[in-house]
Amino acid sequence: MQTVKSNGYDIPALGFGVFRMSDEELERVLPAALEAGFRHFDTAQIYKNEAALGKALEDAGVARDEIFLTTKVWVDQYSEDKFAASVDESLEKLRVDNVDLLLLHWPAHEVPVAKQIELINEVQAAGKTRLIGVSNQNIAQMRESVATSAAPIVTNQVEVHPYLDQSKLAAAARELDVAITGYYGMADGAVPKDEVLQQIGAEYGKTAAQVTLRWVVQQGFVALSKTANPSRAAENAAIFDFALSDDHMARISGLARPDGRIISPENLAPEWDA
Buried b (16+ CB within 10 A) or exposed e, 237-271: bbbeeeebeeebbebbeebeeeebbeeeeeeebbe
User: Rounded to whole angstroms, how far apart are CA atoms 56 and 61?
Assistant: 9
The torsion of the CA quartet 45, 51, 53, 59, rounded to 10 degrees, works out to 160
In 161-221, the DSSP E strands lie at 179-183
Class (C level, CATH) for 3-253: alpha beta
Q: At what angle do helices 83-94 and 50-60 cross, to 10 degrees?
A: 40
Per-residue pLDDT of the chain (274 residues; tens, 9 = 90+): 799 999 999 999 999 999 999 999 999 999 999 999 999 999 999 999 999 999 999 999 999 999 999 999 999 999 999 999 999 999 999 999 999 999 999 998 899 999 999 999 999 999 999 999 999 999 999 999 999 999 999 999 999 999 999 999 999 999 999 999 999 999 999 999 999 999 999 999 999 999 999 999 999 999 999 999 998 999 999 999 999 999 999 999 999 999 999 999 999 999 999 8
pTM score, whole prediction: 0.97
Q: Catalytic annotation on 204?
A: no
User: Rounded to whole angstroms, how far apart are CA atoms 219 and 64?
Assistant: 29
Q: Which of 128, 175, 123 is nearest to 147 (CA)?
A: 175
User: Rounded to whole angstroms, how far apart are CA atoms 96 and 2?
Assistant: 24
Contact present, 197 and 162 (Cβ < 8 Å): yes
Coil/strand/helix, residue 186: coil
In 7-152, the DSSP E strands lie at 9-12, 14-17, 40-42, 68-73, 99-104, 129-135
| 184: CB partners within 8 A, 6+ apart | 159, 160, 161, 262, 263
Contact present, 181 and 164 (Cβ < 8 Å): no
Out of 47, 78, 163, 184, the active site residue is 47
pLDDT at position 274 is 85
Contact present, 149 and 121 (Cβ < 8 Å): yes
Strand partners, 180: 156
**Can you say how many angstroms the Cα of residue 92 is from the centroid of all Cα atoms in its chain?**
21
Backbone angles phi, psi at 22, to 5 degrees: -75, 165
